[in-house]
Amino acid sequence: PNGGTNGIPVYDQNWKNVVATMYHELQEARTDPDVDDAIRDGTTAGARFLGWTSDSGLEIGDYPIAEARQLKQVFVEVPLADGSGLVPVQLQYSNAVHGPEGPIPYPHGMEPPTPGPGPTPNQPPITTDPELAKVIAQWNQLEDFVKKAIVRLVNSR
């Protein structure tokens, strides 16, 4: 209301900046749940409360920002799972590329499925369990390789 910027100033719409900041803080909350304890401690020993920091002392959400030349290299808009629009997120630091990265279709070291017999990407994997087939059909937001891994685990019982 006062014309100020809300959140990390990346976008021309304040709600996007607030959402991007929420993703930034969510990353840090996952890895630094006790950061307030470290701040209150005020000594080097207080670092024991920190879950992840860079060698220079930056939290996991701050490090990609410090490494990027522009905020738009770290904050991007990605499609919603239901395809209804885009939402801003902060990319996480990736050891594989030594900087911010994502989203990627497959984890590093995991190759995409090769064409051939069997299910193709975005088609449900084959299972002999009819109940599992129903569940998988409803999981359209899961990547194909995740569905295949679940089916392999269940079928190996």
Q: How many CA atoms lie within 13 A of 77 on its CB side?
A: 12
Measure the CA–CA gap between 62 and 40, rounded to whole angstroms: 20
DSSP secondary-structure letter at 61? T
Is there a contact between 33 and 50 (Cβ–Cβ < 8 Å)?
A: no
Per-residue pLDDT reduced to its tens digit, 21-43:
998 888 888 887 777 888 888 88
Quick check: pTM over 0.85?
no
Is there a contact between 68 and 100 (Cβ–Cβ < 8 Å)?
A: yes
Per-residue pLDDT reduced to its tens digit, 77-124:
988 888 898 989 898 888 888 778 877 777 777 766 666 665 555 555
